[in-house]
Every structure is written in structure tokens, then in C-alpha cells.
Structure 1
């Protein structure tokens, strides 16, 4: 059987089309993988899903005559040579009252290092009611060699927490941060690396 020149060309065009579609598909999947983490973080910040706190622009105008315990946790990933700790270990504000607490971080490396804090609240159901007005976690933090920085967090617990069936009995909330090294040359998806995985020592 003889294959004509036109049939051969048509076959080549089909093959080229399939190859192009595969390349576009793979490229799209890679792009979606890099976008997944920031989009998931945005979703969590909006909804409070998974213990993620809310970011707000203004303070609460309602303060209840009821208090709640808030404790603070601080961690630095194995790849970040920082001392990171909560200065205030626990506060007991009224629900709806705006409070400021402080964390500190010290860079033990001999060169400048940039880090970024990932945060969550436990129990997870309380995340949607924990509102941050100001937080170092909103931006990256760069510390010079040996530098110590005080970092405030301004927050309040939404009074609506006492109305929801799954949260009205909560007496203690823990706000936890983990600082990770942040290299601007690395994709944002690198933030999803688990704490237990090996990372280069800074």
C-alpha cells in the first residue's frame, strides 16, 4: 500500500497537533500546581477553613462580658536558623476586645535571611472567628545577621463565636506560627514543604 504525499503531511500535522496539546496540558498542570498553594491560602483566609485566621481592616465594635483564653505558639522550620518565640504566652481578653501581643525573632545566621510565617488556630472551628488587624505574617520578614525584631499581632475574637453550636463552648484558642525560609527565586509552592523534610541550613 502506497501512502500519498498529502496523506503523509496530514498525518504529520495530526501528530504535531497532539504533541502541542500534550505540551500545553503539561504546562497548564505545572502552572496550576504552583498556583494551588496561594489560592488555597487565600481560600482559607477568607473562610477560616482549616484553622486559618481572618484578616480584617477594622476592630470589633462589640465587646461581650465574657472572656476567652488565647495562648501563643512559635516554631521555626529546620531550614531557618532563627530563634522565634512568643513574648506573651497567654492572654485572657473579653470576646470582641482588641488585643496586641508580641513575638520576637533573632537571626543567628552570619548573613541576612528572609522568612515568612505560616499560621493557624486550634481548635480549627475557631479560625473563622479569630480576626487579625495587624500581623507580621501579612508580609515577608528580613533580618540582618544577629538582628532581633519585635513583631506585634493585633487581633480580636469575633463575638459571633458564642452563637455557633460548634464554637460556643470553646474556652481556649491557640494561635500558632511557623517561620519558613523564603527565597524570592523559589516558587511559592515551596511553602508547602513539611516541617519534617530536610531543607538547607541557613
Structure 2
């Protein structure tokens, strides 16, 4: 093999490696999210079509947390700070957001649960995450989330002592903003539509 042909083959091989590495980098976040959703790793709630089995008489508390990335001029908070629910029983909770800017602004929410070890037992069946939400100037909107906690959490020695789960949502202006903070890699995926109550809040200016 002459030197020119060898150099051509080496260049082609190097190009293939670079293309493969670029492809893997783009696939890394979606694959990580699928792994988290299947295993509950990193506090990612379990996602799937499984229906709530019904209450078993045991209860657990779920706290609701809300954060807003500084780039998004919204006020965002849960309607309730905490609920007590029966294990295995479906629950619906609401968050609300108000656009404090004098012009329309679009945001997108990500979520997670803590402690991280309960992720596989926290089942979200519908929410507003990963959908672009657009609010007009000073408009307010309520966003529902539907979930249930698997009774198996009490049979697992590593989670049997957990009495409180915190469900956290963070609104970002874009997925790019979320990726820069590292939040995107740990976020659970969207699980289907649940219509938001899109009425103007009474306190909107």
C-alpha cells in the first residue's frame, strides 16, 4: 500500500470516529433520561401507563417545590405546599405561574423528586413539563400534575422509612438554558397532556 492510499484510509477512519463521537454526544442526554425514567436513578419519577392500584390505608406526604430560572421573568409557585395521600391513590395538584413582563414570554418546565432513592416509586401520569407554555403580558395560568406513589415503597428496606417526598418543578426560558445548568440531564420526560386551566388570575394586572 502506497503512502497516499494509507493516508486516505487513515483520514477516512478518523472522520468516521469524529462523526460517531458527535452522534454519541447528541444521544447521551436522551439515553440518560430513558435510563433514569426506567430505573428511578437520580430522582427521576417512574413514567408509564400503569394505573394507580388504589389506596392501601398507608399514607405519605408529598411536598411541592417551585423554582424559576433567572432568565425567565415569571412568578411560579405551587397552589399547595404539601398534601398527605394514600399510597397507591391517584392525586392531582396544581402549580401557578404569572408572567411579570410587559410582553409575552414562553417558558418550559422540568421536574424531579427527592430523596432520589424514591424515584422508581413516584409515578407521574400527566403533567405540564417539557411543553412550551406561553403567557401574555401579566397573564397568570394554573398547571396541573397527576401522580401516585407505589405502595411497594414500604416493602423496600432502602425507602421504607421515607415519610416525605418533594416534587420539584423549575421553569426555564428554553431547553438550552436548562442544559446549561445541568438540569436537563436529570429531568424526567413528559408523560402526556393534562390541560392547564388557562384563565387570567384575579390578581393579574
Partner-residue secondary structure (3-state), 1:60: coil
Instruction: Decide which of 98, 102, 105 is 2:94's aligned counterpart.
Output: 102
2:190 maps to what in 1? Answer: none
Q: TM-score, normalised by structure 2?
A: 0.80
Q: Determine if the alignment matches structure 1 residue 28 to structure 2 residue 20.
A: yes
Which deviates more from structure 2 when the two are superposed, residues 106-115 or residues 142-151?
106-115
Q: TM-score, normalised by structure 1?
A: 0.81
Q: Is the 8 A contact 2:110 2:130 kept in 1?
A: no
2:152 maps to what in 1? Answer: 160
Q: How far apart are 1:51 and its partner, in Å? A: 0.6
Q: Which runs of 5+ in 1 are unaligned?
A: 1-6, 197-202
* Structure with greater Cα Rg: 1
1:39-74 CA distances to partner (integer Å, 9 max, x unpaired)? 211211121111101123343123111111110101
How far apart in 1 are the matches of 2:33 and 2:53? Answer: 27
Aligned length: 183
CA change 1:32–1:195 in 2 (3 A) is closer
Q: C-alpha root-mean-square deviation of aligned residues, in Å? A: 2.1
How far apart in 1 are the matches of 2:101 and 2:113? Answer: 29
Q: How far apart are 1:115 and its partner, in Å? A: 2.5
Which deviates more from structure 2 when the two are superposed, residues 152-161 or residues 107-116?
107-116
Q: How does 1:1-202 map to 2 (within 5 A)?
A: 10-182=2-174, 191-194=178-181
How far apart in 1 are the matches of 2:157 and 2:73? Answer: 42
